[in-house]
Each structure stands twice: as structure tokens, then as C-alpha cells.
Amino acid sequence: MANKKVTIWFDMDGTIANLYKVAGWLEKLRAYNPTPYEQAEVMHNMALLARLIHKAQAQGYGVGIISWLSKESTDDYDKAVEQAKREWLKKHLPSVEWDAMYFVKYGTPKHELGSGLLFDDNAEIREEWTRAKDENFAVTPEQIIEILKAL
């Protein structure tokens, strides 16, 4: 991502996609059922989020997704989960052209995949991200709109 100021990374589950509010989500994932990833409601005003992402990109920021696949995993299920997540993004943020999208095994250290600003609901991941590189900064999903408006 040459010539970019900084890359802004978004986690999905619990950050922009409300996976944990889908009825029976955990049981479905344990049964290798990807539908909770498809059914997750949005966690933000997505039209506003898309506009703010476009504004950031116009200012030279990169934007990307770093999202874990299901903890319950097989190669085929990983492919189904990745497809479900890509479809969710196309449905809810159709105008966003992502600079990078990483759908990786559960537990993969996210700081090994990128640097910059990370929005993630997991405090441990935010701490690891910030500690890994001097240029890294990580914040909670509740701060997404506020921070993007301030760019």
C-alpha cells in the first residue's frame, strides 16, 4: 500500500458486524454453519461509515479488513466463513473498495498482517497491536465514527 498515509483496519465480528447478537450463533458455529456471519446485523450507521471511509481514502489513508475465521474450523468451513464475510461486506458497505482483506485462522496475531490504526472489540488484540509497532494504534468499535470524522 505504497503512498498511503496510514492504513485503517477493521475487525468484523463484534466491531462492525453484530455476530454475537445472532440467536444461537455459538451453537451454529460449532456445527460448522456459517449463517451467523451472513445474518449479523450492522453495529453502525453504514451509510455514514462508508462516507467516512471514502473521505479517509480521498485523504490518502488505506482501509482494510483483518478478521478471524471461526474457532471451530475445517478447510471447507473456513472457505464458507470467508465467503459469508465477503458477502456481508458487499451487502453492507458495497461502495467501499478495500485496499486489503485478510480472513485468517482464529488466533492469528493481527499485528503480523498490518500496521496503522485498528478498530477491534477485543482488548487483548488491541493491546498486542499497539505493543507490536510504534506506529500502531488500536481503539474500540464505539470510537469508529468519532475518529473517522476527526480525520
pTM of the complete model = 0.94
Three-state DSSP class for 96? coil
Task: Write the single-letter amino acid at 46.
Answer: M
Identify any residues that bridge with 12 across adjacent strands, giving them in sequence order.
none
Residue ranges per structural domain of the chain:
7-150
* Per-residue pLDDT reduced to its tens digit, 24-71: 999 999 999 999 999 999 999 999 999 999 999 999 999 999 999 999
* Strand bridging mode 62-68 / 117-119: unpaired
For residues 26-64, b (16+ Cβ closer than 10 Å) or e, as one string?
Answer: eebbeeebbebbbbbeebbebeebbebbeebbeeebbbb
CATH for 7-150 is 3.40.50.1000
Cα–Cα distance, 90 to 33 (Å, whole number): 20
